[in-house]
Amino acid sequence: MEKLLFKVALAAYFFSAVGYITSILVKRVFIAKTSTWVLLTAFAIHSLSIIVRWVGTGYSPVTNIFESLSFIAWAISGSYVAFQLKTKTRVLGAFVSPLAFLLMMVASVKLVDNVSMPAILQGYWVPFHIILSLVGEALFALACLAGVMYLIQDNLIKKKKSYRFTRLLPPLRDLDKINHVSLLWGFPLMTLGVIAGSIWARTVWGSHWQWDPKQIWTMISWFLYAFLLHQRLAIGWKGRKAAVFSILAFSILLFTVIGVNIFFLSVHNFM
Amino acid sequence: MGIIVIGMNHKTAPLHIRERLSLSCDDNSRMLDEVKDISQVREVMYLATCNRVEVVANIEDSVSGVERLKFFIFSHGNLSHDEMKECLYIYRDHEAVRHLFRVASSLDSMVMGEPQILGQVKDAYRHCVEHKASGIILNKLLHHAFRVAKRVRTETGIANNAVSVSFAAVELAKKIFGYLSGKTVLIIGAGEMSELAAKHLMNNGVSKIVFANRTYENAVRLANDFHGIPIGFNLLEEKLKEVDIVISSTGAPGYIITERMIVEALRRRKNRLIFLIDIAVPRDVDPAVEDIDNVFLYNIDNLQEIVDENVKNRMREADKAEAIIADEVTNFSNWLNTLEVVPAIVSLRNKADSIIDNELEKSLSWMKDMKEDEKEKIKILASSVINKLLHDPITRLKEESQNGGADSYVAAIMRLFKLETDD
């Protein structure tokens, strides 16, 4: 049941991605509007599949890397749809829905029926830690995407060429706002996720802090985002600088989430 | 019966001639009444805008009707014979329909795709209806034209994208700020272009406009016109920290806005985006500011390039629009052709009905013993025989009219059935 839902959601993500990209190529708002509804449907079905899995296994729905990827796809599409309803900039969908689709494709590789949960992951704090961190990371991913689009649009307007493409992309102000709001929500979520993790770490490893590479890199990312948020709120960073920095911070975060497990020996080896 | 368009537009006649005609016809109602008085004119609409003066009419006898209509315009506009020959165009039937459709769809406008013309055609038509100068043909023609204009607008990109410098500036501002409501504009110097831009920005929601001028009185005058705020040049730097859009068009020889001013303003405005439009020659804004983050600078040439690109784009879309119009002209002609056979069909039916009535009346004497429902059955029988008989010729007549060759059939039917029409 839950596998079927997953596959339907995967297909829906695919169709919304195709729709969004087509709408840019043929410049028809109608197709983009339809794609938004398809994406919303994909998100709803995906939510259902996660719930069904959660209820079925009794464990939190994010216990391995594949489930996490699926969860990130879910969080990104969810936050994007929420933004879209507020800002009405559909073009970002052409980036978000293919990303969600790709994450889902990778996630579908190991679509196992039942996982045996390692004892270490059975604590009360685990689901809080994982869900808060992943939603935070999804919001940072969205901030990064908005940042990339901001730089493209900024460049097009500054170069004064290819006005055709300028017209296709959302206004700078909207992109900056998406970047800003994503950071504003992502940062406290990530912070809470880290706190939940450290509480749990104490119960299984005996202390909050182990000087583990995963923890060190997480701290680095956290400080980068704290710095960025500070610069935005207190110093008044806006536009280009904030966009560049949010892309930089996200690449460090991405390394923390995926790279650290490959290059370092970490106690945090489940993901 | 025939549709005819006589008129002149910006392509055929220079402004002073259009003016003469348009002024003489200024009293729109009298104009309509006078044209209506021409005996061959059945329906008439008068359309005058700053780029065209046209009379759309349904007239009876083509040759003498056209001559009298032409003479009317000729005498009204006080035109010499040569002027008239050079400036006036006359379209008949299909061509007249096509012309009207093109006008309504803004394909014939000076700025192709501009939206005002449709409203002007609608006004002209409303006027014509109010003066009872329209009839079945013009009503259908104009409603069809409105529909065509709507189709062209939605199915082609002819009205997309700015084709004037000031509109291009507004579009760019929207790509930077999203929407313009609540934004503040600073206009430095006076000039037609900056006033036009101010007007467009206000139409797009800009709520506050600040006018700066070296001569404070000029700033006050502009501020009064646009409900803005006048300032002297001494406050310019101070204002740069709050405004979002700056339009500069002074005649100053050097830079009015320097790099240092923008860097300083940006610091004080906490890096909020600022859009500078420099339409002055020589330039008012130091070109070096465009390398600063969150600052966007466009000069007159940059804007003109956008406009040129958009104009080219509209040209491409115009081809699609012409195809739509060709299509619709055919549709309308089909309807018009059916109209030719309608009087014949109506009188054929009338004759049939009167035959039935007469015959039933004669039969009343021998039918008087019958029951009511039996009489009714006989009536039904009689009319169904007649209907069956007429069905094929009428269908055939309508078909022929679509091919445009119904004249001989109409004549034959009139003669064979000894019909008369009011026509």
Round to whole Å and give the CA distance between B55 and B35: 9
Q: Which residue has the tokens 């009167």?
A: B354
The pLDDT score that the predictor gives to residue A235 is 82
Residue B50 falls in the annotated catalytic set? yes
Contacts of A240 in chain B (CB under 8 A): 293-294
Which is nearest to B261 in space by CA: B222, B300, B223, B233? B233
The pLDDT score that the predictor gives to residue A270 is 59
- In one-letter notation, the amino acid at residue B1 is M
In B159-188, the residues whose Cβ lies within 8 Å of chain A are: 161, 172, 174-178
The pLDDT score that the predictor gives to residue A224 is 94
Same domain, yes or no: A139 and A46: no
Q: Note whether B302 contacts A: Cβ–Cβ < 8 A.
A: yes
Residue B59 lies in a domain: yes
pLDDT at A65 over 90: no
pLDDT tens readout for residues A79-111: 888 877 776 667 777 778 888 887 887 777 665
Please name the residue of chain B whose CA is at the shortest distance from the CA of residue A150.
B176
> Taking CB atoms and an 8 Å limit, are B176 and A241 in contact across chains?
no
Same domain, yes or no: A82 and A177: no
Cα torsion angle, A147, A153, A156, A159, sign: negative
The pLDDT score that the predictor gives to residue A246 is 93
Q: Note whether A166 contacts B: Cβ–Cβ < 8 A.
A: yes
Q: What is the Cα Rg of chain B in Å?
A: 32
ipTM: 0.73
Residue B172 lies in a domain: yes
Q: Which residue has the tokens 């992943």?
A: A134
Q: Note whether A151 contacts B: Cβ–Cβ < 8 A.
A: no
Minimum distance, in Å, between the CA of residue B34 and any CA atom of chain A: 49
Helices marked H in B25-91 — which ranges?
28-37, 62-77, 81-87
Domain that holds residue B224: 165-307
Bond preceding residue B282 cis, omega within 30 of 0:
yes
Residue B84 lies in a domain: yes
Which is nearest to B340 in space by CA: B397, B385, B294? B397
Q: What is the Cα Rg of chain A in Å?
A: 19
The domain boundary residue, chosen from A101, A117, A133: A117
> Taking CB atoms and an 8 Å limit, are B175 and A241 in contact across chains?
no
Q: Are B303 and B267 in contact (CB under 8 A)?
A: no
Give the distance from CA B333 to its chain's centroid.
Answer: 21
The pLDDT score that the predictor gives to residue A110 is 61
> Strand pairing of B184-188 and B245-248?
parallel
Residue B277 lies in a domain: yes
pLDDT tens readout for residues A23-61: 776 667 778 788 888 888 888 988 888 888 888 777 666
The pLDDT score that the predictor gives to residue A116 is 55
Residue B346 lies in a domain: yes
> Taking CB atoms and an 8 Å limit, are A157 and B296 in contact across chains?
yes
The domain boundary residue, chosen from B129, B160, B191: B160
pLDDT tens readout for residues A197-227: 888 888 777 777 777 788 888 889 999 999 9
Contacts of B176 in chain A (CB under 8 A): 157, 171-173
Sheet arrangement for strand B184-188 = B229-232, B208-213, B184-188, B245-248, B274-278, B295-299
Same domain, yes or no: A55 and A127: no
Same domain, yes or no: A136 and A168: yes
Of the candidates A166, A235, A238, the beta carbon closest to that of B175 is on: A166
Same domain, yes or no: A70 and A194: no
The domain boundary residue, chosen from A64, A90, A117: A117
Give the distance from CA A233 to its chain's centroid.
Answer: 22
Q: A145: which residues sit within 8 A by CB, 6+ positions away?
A: A92, A95, A96, A99
- Mutation choice for B interface testing from A173, A175, A240, A244 by most B CBs within 10 A: A173
- Give 10-residue mean pLDDT values along chain B (423 residues): 84 80 63 77 85 86 77 74 80 90 90 85 90 88 92 84 81 87 87 80 86 86 86 86 89 87 89 89 87 89 86 87 92 83 87 90 83 87 91 87 79 85 54
Q: Are A61 and A53 in contact (CB under 8 A)?
A: yes
> Taking CB atoms and an 8 Å limit, are A173 and B272 in contact across chains?
no
The pLDDT score that the predictor gives to residue B317 is 87
Same domain, yes or no: A135 and A269: yes
Domain that holds residue A196: 120-271
The pLDDT score that the predictor gives to residue B101 is 93
Q: Residue B299, SS3?
A: strand
Q: Which residue has the tokens 């997480």?
A: A218
Q: Are B162 and B168 in contact (CB under 8 A)?
A: yes
The pLDDT score that the predictor gives to residue B60 is 81
Same domain, yes or no: B175 and B141: no
> Taking CB atoms and an 8 Å limit, are A171 and B174 in contact across chains?
yes
The pLDDT score that the predictor gives to residue A265 is 67
